[in-house]
Each structure stands twice: as C-alpha cells, then as structure tokens.
Amino acid sequence: MRYPRKGALLALPMVAALVLAGCGGGGAGSGDDSVSFYNTEPENPLLPGDTNENGGSNVVDLMWTGLYSYNPDTGKPVPQMADSVQKTSPTTYDIKIKKGWKFHDGTEVKAKNFVDSWNYTAYAPNAMVDANYLHAIKGYEDVHPEDEKAKPKTDKMSGLQVKGDYEFAVTLSAPFSTFDKQLGYEAFFPMPDQFFKAPDKEKWADHPIGNGPMKFVERRPNTYIKMTRNDGYQGSNKVKFKNVESRIYSTAEAGYQDLVSGNLDFDDTLPPLALADGKYKQDLKDHNAQKNSMTFGYLGLPQYVPQYRDPNLRKALSLAIDREQIAKQIFHGTRSPADGWVPPVMDGAQPGACGDMCKYDPAKAKEFLAKSGYKGEISISSNSDGGNKEWIEAACGSITKTLGLKCRLDMQTSFGQFNQVVRAKKNPGAFRGTWVADYPTVENFLTQLYGTGGSANKFEYSNPAFDKKLAEAAAAPDSDSGNKLYSDAEKMLKNDMPVIPLFFYNVPYGWSDKLSKGSFSLFNKPYVPGFEPAKH
C-alpha cells in the first residue's frame, strides 16, 4: 500500500469546499409583482404553428396575440389585432388589422406578417404540426399536397392576398360559415420578419419574439419559462403582473404542495390526493373554483369491427354505463355526465342532444340488447397511464352488471402506442377518446370527428345525410345560423351513436394568496390575463 491514503484525505476538504461554495448561492426571492402557474414541458419548439398541446400553448398564447383572443368564460372571440373582419362573399373575407401594434423586437405588425406566417405553417416541407388547420384556405393543396411524397407546387397559398400594410384578403376553397371564429387559434398568429430570415427556426424558437402581452425572458428546459410584461401592449387581454413564470413540475403532487404552501400561484392539475373527499376545498379556502371546459370524453365504436355496426347494440352500451356514479366515485366530480356530443358551455351549443339515450337505464339497455341479439364480449381499448385504467374498469363493470356481457380491457402502455393501434385499426373493439376544442364552434366538435373522412374520424363513421347537413351548415351566411344547423346535425347522431358520449370535463383549480382570483379558460388551460392581484 502506497500513496492512496493521501488521496483519500485530500478528498475531504474538497467536499467541504463544495458545500461552502454552494451555500452562498440561491435564495433569490421573487418580487411581489410576479406570478407563477403550473405547466408541463412544451412538446414542440415554441412556435405558434408548431404548437398543439397545452404545455406549449400556455406560453405561446401569452407571447403572441392573433386577430382575436377568446373570452375565458364564454369562448366568444374578442377582437385584438382585428380592426374588422368582413365577409365579402360566402368564400371571401376582407381583414383589416389595427395600426401601431409592435412585435417585441420593435417592428410593426403588418398584414404581410399574417400572410407569411400562415403560408409558412401550411407549407408541407416546413413540417408544422398545425398545418392542416389552414386547409380551408384556397390553394392549400398546392402548398401541402395530400400525397406526402408529392412535391408542393408553390410555397404560397393563392387564397391569401396582401392588400396593403394593414389589410389582406382571404379566399376559401369552399364556404365555411364559422371560419372567422377560428382566427384566434395559434395556427393563425402573425410572425415577425426576423423569423422568416432566421436560418435555423428551432434555434430562433429558443428566444421567440411575438406580439403578445408578455415578452420572452428566459427558458430553462424542463424547469421554467420566464416572461416579462410587454408594456407597450395595446390589446385588451393585458396581464396584471410584471413577471409571469410557467413552471414545470414532474408530478402533480409536488405542484399541489407548492400551491398550498404559497410557492406556486396557480394550479389546474390537482392530484388525486387533493381531490379525494374535496380535500382541496379545505386546503384552499376561498382560493379554489371549478369550471366546465370544452372537453369531451367518449367511447368510440368502430364501424370496421362488424359486431359494433348495429345501432341497437351501441344504444344498449350507452344505456348500460352509469356515468353519474363513475363521475362521482372515480373522478371525484371532475367530470360531469355527457348528454350530447358538444359541451353545453360552447357558444351556440344546444344541450341534451343525446337525451334519454345517454342516461343510465338498465331495463331499456336490456331491451336494446335483446333487439340486437348480440351475445359476444365487449372490449375497450385505452392507454393505461394518465388515470384512464380506473374509469374504464368501472365502465366495463357497469356494462357487465347491466347487460351480462363479458367486458375485456385492452390496455396499451402509452398514448402513442394506443393511438397507433387504433389508427392501424388493430383494436379489437371499442376505444376511448377525448376531444378538446381548438376554437369555440359547434363545428369543431362535429366535422373532424364524424364527417366522412374527417381527420379524427377513427371510427370510419359515414352518414350521407349527416355530411349533407354539415355542408349546409358550412354554407350558412353567418356563424350564428351556422351553429344552429350544426346543432341539428348533432341531433342526427342520436340514431346512429357513432360514439357514446361519456363525460364533459369539469376542472377544479386553485390559486395562492397572491391572487384574489385565478382564472381558467374553458379551453382547458389557465387564463393568465384574468389573474387578479390580491389587494393588500
């Protein structure tokens, strides 16, 4: 044995030095004029056209403002950058934007920033996840051909025309009565000139420049995104705090503990331990609320599995599920039983489209089952994570108890895996699904899901009469009469039951002492401009 002993002794002071050095750092307190909210890590670069999930849109919505924003309580579009959006014919719109709005780099927002941004998002080689939100615009097929191998003819949609610094015209390929209500969605946000010049868009997205109420300050991936107020902001959705932090938590439990102890200011992802017996209502007295969101949970019944084609069986299943009990016992009231295919909080929606077919009724369920003559087993596919297993087990139990049919769970390990199985039509039977509104139109809950060939029509449902009604609604002169026709289409679903409506979401959330009121939007996300500072 030779020198190692000295080495071992040397290690000790080093550890001590590290300890001492570390103690000096940290402890930087945050000022009173800042607010933090619970978030998850954005799954895509911070670009509006590449954002389609809450983690990203919660920050993108603060850093950008489109033609409209949405009222968090009613979902109605509120004009922001839009000075006027005029429908000049069933397929053409003339859009004027307000003058003097600036991006965070000081350049003015002009009509071309909108047009260039929409073109960029739609152009196939740019591979933006939101590309198909622009499919209604004329010339979309030329920049984004349906066949993925085909080369796009051009990178500009013919339906977009800049008519001046503050005016542009949009031509649609077919009438679409609720088109203007979509214009507050992320895919329709403007982008600054420097974005288009940037050679590496992902690098650019590390320090994004928008035109919204908050400016980007700093991002530590997986940890936080810090933003500061854009003081020259002219929109009505101003933020009442100087600094906003989107904080990422690895577990809902940790976020909740932070909320209760005042380290976090807003939390809309309360963990089961807080929901059980309404514990959060005691922990957060006068600092909690619950809100219906535009989120719809359903059980899809695929047409490509022959035994599910009989509407009588579909109705029997719908009548056999005790939604009330599952909502209360498993979801602790965070879901309410669905009585239609469109959440009733939606502007222009007519509640109760499913009516008695969505109420638990064992006698009637047995009647319909007898009519269908079905005796086999039922299977439900889902991903097992995200708290899905428990309620599907309960739904299965409810079916077995009422109808005496065997019910089997087909659980996939992750959402991606589950989605892939369903898209490949390899699922043995029914499967669960969730749909969150992107923009507040009844249409948003119907065309994509049940229209023939709709992008989310995984059930291969096709009903010519229903399609005709949708086309009629799309051709309506304005969005209000359009909504009415869409609601009529919704009622037609009751005969076929392409999917069984199960739940509408009813989200509980809480806030800290720093706020006198937290705000949650019915788009199922926090609404930071609605956070009111507490008065001291």
Partner 1 sequence: MGRYILRRLLQLIPVFFGTTLLIYVLVWLVPGDPFAGKCGDRACPPAYIEQMTHKYNLDQNIFVQYFLYLGKLFQGDFGQTYSGVDISTLIGQAYPITVRLAIIALIFEGVIGLAAGIITGLGRKRFVDNLVMISTLVLISLPVFVTGFIIQVVFGMDLGWMSVTVSSDAPWGELIAPGFVLASLSMAYVARLTRTSIKENKRADYVRTAIAKGQPQKRVIGIHLLRNSAIPVMTFLGQDLGALMGGAIVTEGVFNIKGIGGLVKQGIETKESMQVVGLVTILVLVFLVMNLIVDLLYAVLDPRIRYD
Q: What is the footprint of partner 1 within residues 112-151 (CB under 8 A)?
A: 124-129, 131-132, 144, 148
- Single out the residue of 379, 403, 412, 414 nearest to residue 393, CA to CA: 379
- Single out the residue of 449, 392, 379, 454 nearest to residue 421, CA to CA: 379
Size of the site for partner 1 (CB under 8 A): 71
Q: How far is the CB of 3 from partner 1 (least distance, A)?
A: 8
If the CB atoms of residues 59 and 485 are measured against partner 1, the closer one turns out to be 59
Residue 285 is given by DSSP the state: T
The answer to the question of residue 456 lying near partner 1 (CB under 8 A) is yes
The answer to the question of residue 196 lying near partner 1 (CB under 8 A) is no
If the CB atoms of residues 419 and 495 are measured against partner 1, the closer one turns out to be 419
Among 10, 23, 373, 536, binds partner 1 (CB under 8 A): 23
The answer to the question of residue 418 lying near partner 1 (CB under 8 A) is yes
- 334, 507 contact by CB (below 8 A): yes
Among 198, 305, 330, 436, binds partner 1 (CB under 8 A): 436
Residue 531 dihedral angles phi and psi, to the nearest 5°: -75, 125
Please give the Cα distance from 536 to 195 (Å, whole number).
Answer: 42
Position 92: which residue type? T
Please give the Cα distance from 199 to 205 (Å, whole number).
Answer: 11
Please give the Cα distance from 209 to 216 (Å, whole number).
Answer: 7
The answer to the question of residue 433 lying near partner 1 (CB under 8 A) is yes
If the CB atoms of residues 2 and 535 are measured against partner 1, the closer one turns out to be 2
Among 34, 41, 198, 281, binds partner 1 (CB under 8 A): 41
Q: Between vectors from CA 30 to CA 203 and to CA 64, what angle results, nearest 5°?
A: 40
Q: Return the half-sphere exposure (C-beta side, CA atoms, 13 A cut-off) of residue 244.
A: 33
Print the binding letters for residues 49-68 with partner 1: x by CB under 8 A, - otherwise. Answer: ---xx--x------------
Of how many residues is the chain composed?
Answer: 536
Q: How far is the CB of 130 from partner 1 (least distance, A)?
A: 8
CB count, 10 Å around CB of 17?
A: 10
The answer to the question of residue 275 lying near partner 1 (CB under 8 A) is no
The answer to the question of residue 535 lying near partner 1 (CB under 8 A) is no
If the CB atoms of residues 88 and 417 are measured against partner 1, the closer one turns out to be 417
The answer to the question of residue 286 lying near partner 1 (CB under 8 A) is no
- 80, 66 contact by CB (below 8 A): yes
If the CB atoms of residues 43 and 377 are measured against partner 1, the closer one turns out to be 43
If the CB atoms of residues 251 and 325 are measured against partner 1, the closer one turns out to be 251
The answer to the question of residue 381 lying near partner 1 (CB under 8 A) is no
Q: Return the half-sphere exposure (C-beta side, CA atoms, 13 A cut-off) of residue 413.
A: 0
The answer to the question of residue 4 lying near partner 1 (CB under 8 A) is yes
The answer to the question of residue 285 lying near partner 1 (CB under 8 A) is no
If the CB atoms of residues 329 and 417 are measured against partner 1, the closer one turns out to be 417
User: In 26-37, which positions are buried (b, 16+ CB within 10 angstroms) versus exposed (e)?
Assistant: eeeeeeeebbbb
The answer to the question of residue 253 lying near partner 1 (CB under 8 A) is yes
Binding to partner 1 (CB under 8 A) within 146-175 occurs at 148
Residue 193 tokens read as 């000139």
CB count, 10 Å around CB of 339?
A: 18
The answer to the question of residue 453 lying near partner 1 (CB under 8 A) is no
Residue 1 tokens read as 């044995």
The answer to the question of residue 260 lying near partner 1 (CB under 8 A) is yes
Among 33, 43, 277, 324, binds partner 1 (CB under 8 A): 43
Span near partner 1 by CB under 8 A; candidates 35-43, 159-167, 227-235, 403-411: 35-43
Binding to partner 1 (CB under 8 A) within 199-238 occurs at 202, 205-206, 220-224
Among 414, 468, 478, 516, binds partner 1 (CB under 8 A): 414
- 430, 308 contact by CB (below 8 A): yes
Q: How far is the CB of 501 from partner 1 (least distance, A)?
A: 15
The answer to the question of residue 490 lying near partner 1 (CB under 8 A) is no
Q: How far is the CB of 414 from partner 1 (least distance, A)?
A: 6
Alpha helix positions (H), 106-238: 111-122, 140-143, 193-197, 201-204
Q: How far is the CB of 193 from partner 1 (least distance, A)?
A: 21
Alpha helix positions (H), 25-148: 54-63, 111-122, 140-143
Coil, strand or helix at 293: strand
Q: Which residues contact 156 (CB under 8 A, 6 or more apart)?
A: 119, 139, 143
